[in-house]
Structure 1
Amino acid sequence: MTIKLPPKITTIARGVWDFSKFSSKVLSGFRYIWRHRQDTMEQIHIMGIQALPLVLIASMSIGMVLTLEWGKKLELFGAKLMLGRMVSITVIREIGPTITGLMLAGRSGAKLVSELGNMRFLSEQIEALRAFGIDPIHRLVVPRVYASLLLMLPITIIADVCGIIAGWFAAVMWMGIDSEFFWISIQSGLLIKDLVIGAIKPPFYGLFIGLVGCYFGYHVSGGTVGLGKAATLTVMLTSISVLLLDFILTKTILSFY
Structure 2
Amino acid sequence: MSDTVRIVLADDERMVRTALRVILDAEDGLEVVGEAATGAEAVSLVRQLRPDVVLMDVRMPEIDGIRATEQILGAPGTPPRIVVVTTFENDSYVYEALRAGAAGFLLKRAAAEDLVQAVRLVARSDSLLFPAAVRGLADRYGARQAPAAPWVARLTDREAAVLRLMVAGLANAEIAGRMGVGVATVKTHVAAVLAKTGARDRTQAVIVAYESGFVAPGRTAGPPAGGR
TM-score norm. by structure 2 comes to: 0.23
By relative contact order (CA 8 Å, sep 6+), the higher-ranking structure is 1
More helix by share: 1
Which one has the largest radius of gyration? 1
More strand by share: 2
TM-score norm. by structure 1 comes to: 0.21
